[in-house]
Amino acid sequence: MNFAGVRRGPRNLRIRFDADALTHYGGAILVHEFLQRIGLRAQLWRHVRFSQRNNRYRISETLLAILYPIILGMERLEASEPLKHNGVFQYLTGLPGYPDPTSLRRFLRRFAEAGRAGLLRVHDRYQQAMLAPLRPQPIVDLDASVLTVYGRQQKSAVGYNPRKRGRPSYLAVLCFEGHTRDALEGALHPGNAHVLPVIRPMIERALPKLPRSKPLRMRADAAFYDGDFIHWLEARRVHYVIPARVTTPIKYRLGGLRYGRVRRDVWAAEFRYQPMGWDQARRFVVIRRPVPEEPSAQLHLFQMKGYVYQVLVTSMPWTPWRIWQFYNDRSHAELVIRELKAAYALDKIPMHEFASNEAFFQLVLLAYNLLGWFKRLCAPPSLQRATLQRLRRQLFLAPAQLVRPQGRPVLRLARAYPFPELFREALRQIHRLKSPLPNQV
């Protein structure tokens, strides 16, 4: 073979470790400027206070030191170690140095005991302000997810775990706003907990954050199919759509209903039924479709004589087709949970103590909402529905150099950086932004 035309790698290459003022996180300046414009550091300083042994870092600074690795994709606290030696990152984010992972763990323990309530107050204030301009009728999506643990974390327990059967886990219960996909509420529980006893106080905390000019609508998965819970929703004038468990009495009804075609290969029917133990009959909507030839996630639905059936209980007066469409939009909540696990390290349980893990869980939800607000308020149109991985790739993980010509700091991004216009547009939008919490103390 003739290798004459094949290029060779560099020869006699020298490697030196003396480049100054370089960082892989040049786009962190966008996050810092955004957090400054909305006044997050000042709000944390005012409302999250407790005694500290080490006063080198303020509480607000240490909280930001935990939030930044979540935003930048460092899945565990130990992975933030390089930031301790990255002076440019510290300069761009206004941090006076960077704590080591051991210090962050000790801080989480103290924060879980004394600072969590203050953080939730700050988060609630921002949520109310960000959701106030919401014009469509609010939608609350309820969901739950199993977080498998790989140790002996406090309060982890063996419960329903479809992927890792028999392994201990935590149960994350979450509420989202259906239009904006903001995380309204979230809580961490032992893996053998059930969602029904814990969801009512979560909804009570979530409702005041939403504009209530119109009736509230709610979508939930089958774990929330319960007569007492539905009665509780109706008492609060909350309209709902929830999948029903296809019990034997419901199965007998499916074959005798009169179905009307609403779309190609989709038939619909409805009936009224009072399940055992319920206080009264409710409206049930049935969607029937042919069994698909290819396997899909929908095959867990009830099948009979070549059809799959989906049964929904609802208080809404809409047509069965519209109710089914409305419920199917709840899949966004499942996509958000998948992103929370894949990109925000939701399932990377960092501590042994349950209280510390729950506090970290709340910080993950805050980081998720902060990025959602960043996209809504400051991102270019092409990035307003982007995943966090895409935001990192196009904006945040930008190699840069900090130089000081004539004593003025200049952040120089690489000439080959492929998204300069997106970066400039995001920065322009940030500089136009006003704090959503003016003059609040």
User: Is 356 a domain residue?
Assistant: yes
- The answer to whether the CB of 116 falls within 8 A of the CB of 139 is no
On whether both 403 and 311 belong to a single domain, the answer is: no
How many other CB atoms are found less than 10 A from the CB of residue 16? Answer: 5
Please state, in angstroms and rounded to a whole number, the distance separating the CA atoms of residues 177 and 182.
5
User: Is 227 a domain residue?
Assistant: yes
Burial class from Cβ neighbours inside 10 Å (0-12, 13-18, 19+) for residue 122 reads buried
| Helix (H), strand (E), coil (C) string for 105-160 | HHHHHHHHHHCHHHHHHHHHHHHHHHHCCCCCCCEEEEEEEEEECCCCCCCCEECC
| Residue linked to tokens 């969801």 | 199
- Structural domains of the chain, count: 2
Question: Where in the sequence is the domain holding 231, given as residue range(s)?
Answer: 222-325
Angle at 379 between CA 364 and CA 414, to 5 degrees: 95
Q: What pLDDT shows up at residue 425?
A: 96
On whether both 110 and 28 belong to a single domain, the answer is: yes
What's the token pair of residue 278? 């319920």
Q: What pLDDT shows up at residue 4?
A: 59
Burial class from Cβ neighbours inside 10 Å (0-12, 13-18, 19+) for residue 238 reads middle
Query: pTM of the predicted model, to two decimals?
Result: 0.92
Strand partners, 239: 217
- The torsion of the CA quartet 360, 436, 127, 183, rounded to 10 degrees, works out to -70
How many other CB atoms are found less than 10 A from the CB of residue 247? Answer: 12
Q: What pLDDT shows up at residue 306?
A: 76
Chosen domain end from 325, 354, 371: 325
Tell me which residue of 360, 349, 334, 367 sits closest to 145, measured CA to CA: 334
Alpha helices in 26-135 (DSSP H): 28-38, 40-47, 59-72, 87-93, 101-114, 116-131
- The answer to whether the CB of 26 falls within 8 A of the CB of 400 is yes
On whether both 390 and 321 belong to a single domain, the answer is: no
- Kindly list the strands in the beta sheet with 22-23, ordered across the sheet, starting from the edge strand earlier in the chain: 22-23, 400-403, 410-413
End-to-end CA distance of the chain: 76
Chosen domain end from 292, 325, 358: 325
On whether both 308 and 371 belong to a single domain, the answer is: no
Q: What pLDDT shows up at residue 256?
A: 87
User: Is 188 a domain residue?
Assistant: no
Residue 135 has phi, psi (to 5 degrees) of: -90, -40
pLDDT tens sequence for the chain (441 residues) = 565 566 677 778 888 777 788 899 999 999 999 999 999 999 999 999 998 876 788 999 999 999 999 999 888 889 899 999 999 999 999 998 999 999 999 999 999 999 999 999 999 999 999 999 888 889 999 999 999 998 889 999 998 888 888 899 999 999 999 999 999 999 999 999 999 999 999 999 999 899 876 778 999 999 999 999 999 999 999 999 999 999 999 998 998 899 999 988 899 999 999 999 999 999 999 999 988 755 444 434 667 667 888 999 999 999 999 999 999 998 888 899 999 998 998 988 999 999 999 999 999 999 999 999 999 999 999 999 999 999 999 999 999 999 998 889 999 998 899 999 999 999 999 999 988 887 554
Strand partners, 171: 146, 189
Q: What pLDDT shows up at residue 184?
A: 96
On whether both 108 and 64 belong to a single domain, the answer is: yes
SS3 218: strand
User: Is 411 a domain residue?
Assistant: yes
Chosen domain end from 325, 360, 393: 325
On whether both 294 and 384 belong to a single domain, the answer is: no
Tell me which residue of 236, 218, 233, 223 sits closest to 178, measured CA to CA: 218
User: Is 177 a domain residue?
Assistant: no
Please state, in angstroms and rounded to a whole number, the distance separating the CA atoms of residues 77 and 371.
20
Please state, in angstroms and rounded to a whole number, the distance separating the CA atoms of residues 240 and 217.
6
Please state, in angstroms and rounded to a whole number, the distance separating the CA atoms of residues 284 and 8.
70
Q: What pLDDT shows up at residue 6?
A: 61
Please state, in angstroms and rounded to a whole number, the distance separating the CA atoms of residues 293 and 238.
38
User: Is 192 a domain residue?
Assistant: no
Strand partners, 187: 173
Helix, strand, coil % (nearest 5) of the chain?
45, 20, 40
**For residue 416, what are the contacts with CB-CB under 8 A and spacing of at least 6?**
none
On whether both 70 and 103 belong to a single domain, the answer is: yes
On whether both 353 and 404 belong to a single domain, the answer is: yes
User: Is 207 a domain residue?
Assistant: no
- The answer to whether the CB of 98 falls within 8 A of the CB of 86 is yes
Please state, in angstroms and rounded to a whole number, the distance separating the CA atoms of residues 67 and 344.
10
User: Is 291 a domain residue?
Assistant: yes
